[in-house]
Amino acid sequence: MKIKFWGVRGSIPVPGPKTVRYGGNTTCIEIRSDSGDIIVLDGGTGIFQLAQSLLREMPVTANVFITHSHWDHIQGLPFFIPLFVPGNKLKLHGAFDLVSGRGVEQVMNVQLQYSFFPIRAEELKASIEYFTLTPGQAVQIGDAKITPTLLNHPVVNFGYRIDCNGKSVFFTGDHEPPYNIYSPDDPDFSTYQQIIAEREAGIIEAIKGVDVIIADSSYTDEEYAKKKGWGHGTLASSIRIAKEAGAKILYFTHHEPTRSDDDLDRLFAGIQESIPPEGMEYRLAREGDEITL
């Protein structure tokens, strides 16, 4: 199984001289199973470069799994060039949206409204299929099994575990560890804390034993104190989850858009010193990086 990063920024693309080393595109990860099936996690702006790389392989079937429908995770989909070429297939997988009451098809339908995009869905030449997923129910793509897990974000967000011939990777999408909304002196505090503990245990169980975890690590602990409830994790919270799950390699991703490459390097050096890996390897996700499991 091969993993390649095409977009590692959060919230908004930030190309420029201060982001050239780690990249300025928003979330997109390509996974190739051992049998060569194409699995794409999220369709942020990084998917445009992935599309360019696929042109020499056409016709292609791309299985795209959307963690959630916020713009930075879907805004590159209309620019996925194989969509405009006959013979290609896009199989879009994702969650049922409790707010709109619609399935994952709304991810494309909203963006392809003629007021916002010059090409109507009916004009696309490729075949598009939509698959609305259920938490815990795995999908088989060739020799890879993809299992969605409900994580914590202001909209429905799936983390995805991909298992292939004994190797595994888990991507969180956007995830903020659940926290207690009650003060410790509130009579509902202990009951809610139990709910949180059960939910966290379920998340750890879904990640348990993976070779690689790619985790939303947007903030430092100091930044998080001012952004609690925004739906994102910290470097420290990602480490805690990865260690509890027994992961071998942790990739920090969804880099905060105001952070330069030098800022990321300083943060990375600091977190390795303050929370040593102790048998697990830390890495900063970087556009273009590849790993083979």
CATH number of the domain within which 201 lies: 3.60.15.10
Range of the domain at 202: 2-292
Which pLDDT band, with edges at 50, 70 and 90, does 283 fall under? Answer: very high
pLDDT tens per residue, range 238-265: 999 999 999 999 999 999 999 999 999 9
Q: What is the mean pLDDT of residues 162-181?
A: 95
Percent of the chain with pLDDT over 70: 100
The region that residue 96 occupies, defined by phi over 0 for left and psi between -120 and 50 for alpha, beta otherwise, is: beta
Q: What is the 3-state secondary structure (H, E, C) of 16-47?
A: CCCCCCCCCCECEEEEECCCCCEEEECCCCCH
pLDDT tens per residue, range 83-127: 999 999 999 999 998 878 888 998 898 899 888 999 988 899 999
Where do the H-state alpha helices sit in the chain? 47-54, 106-111, 189-207, 221-224, 235-245, 261-274
State the burial class of residue 193 (Cβ atoms within 10 Å of its Cβ: 0-12, 13-18, 19+): middle
Q: What sign does the CA torsion over 36, 38, 41, 45 have?
A: positive
- Neighbouring residues of 17: CB distance < 8 A, sequence distance ≥ 6: none
Please give the Cα distance from 67 to 159 (Å, whole number): 6
Average pLDDT, the chain: 95
pLDDT tens per residue, range 193-227: 899 999 999 999 999 999 999 999 999 999 999 99
Angle at 278 between CA 202 and CA 274, to 5 degrees: 95
Predicted local distance difference test score (pLDDT) of residue 97: 84
Which pLDDT band, with edges at 50, 70 and 90, does 35 fall under? Answer: very high
| 21 has pLDDT over 90 | yes
Predicted local distance difference test score (pLDDT) of residue 232: 97
User: How far does Cα 192 stand from its chain's mean position?
Assistant: 27
| 286 has pLDDT over 90 | yes
| Model pTM above 0.75 | yes
Tokens of 270: 């600091």
Question: Cis peptide before 59, with omega less than 30 degrees from 0?
Answer: yes
Predicted local distance difference test score (pLDDT) of residue 180: 85
| 181 has pLDDT over 90 | no
Phi, psi (degrees; rounded to nearest 5) at 180? -80, 125
Predicted local distance difference test score (pLDDT) of residue 74: 96
Answer yes or no: are the C-beta atoms of 280 and 247 closer than 8 Å. Answer: yes
Tokens 């815990």 locate to 136
The total domain count for the chain is 1
